[in-house]
Amino acid sequence: MIADKLITLMEQHEGVRHTVYRCTGGKLTIGVGHNLEDNPVSDTVIRLLLEEDIGHCVRELCGIFPMFHSYGDARQAALISMMFMGVGSFRGFKRMIEAIQAGDWEKASVEALDSQWARQVKSRANEIAVMLLNNTWSEAV
State the CATH number of the domain containing residue 111: 1.10.530.40
Structural domain boundaries, residue 124: 43-134
Please give the tally of structural domains in the chain. Answer: 1
Residue 126 lies in a domain: yes
* pLDDT surpasses 90 at 140: no
Residue 141 lies in a domain: no
Contact 80, 59 (CB under 8 A): no
Q: Look at residue 1 in the predicted model and tell me its pLDDT.
A: 66
Q: What is the DSSP letter of 25?
A: T
Residue 22 lies in a domain: no
> In the sheet that 17-22 helps form, which strands lie side by side, from edge to edge?
17-22, 28-31, 34-35
Q: How far apart are alpha carbons 74 and 132 in whole angstroms? A: 7
Residue 139 lies in a domain: no
Contact 48, 109 (CB under 8 A): no
Residue 27 lies in a domain: no
Other Cβ atoms closer than 10 A to 67: 10
Q: What percent of the chain has pLDDT over 70?
A: 98
Contacts of 15 (CB under 8 A, 6+ apart): 32, 33
Residue 116 lies in a domain: yes
Residue 37 lies in a domain: no
Q: Which of 88, 77, 82, 135 is nearest to 111 (CA)?
A: 82
Q: How far apart are alpha carbons 89 and 108 in whole angstroms? A: 16
pTM score: 0.87
**Beta pairing, strands 34-35 & 17-22:** unpaired
pLDDT in tens, 50-109: 999 999 999 999 999 999 999 999 999 999 999 999 999 999 999 999 999 999 999 999
* pLDDT surpasses 80 at 126: yes
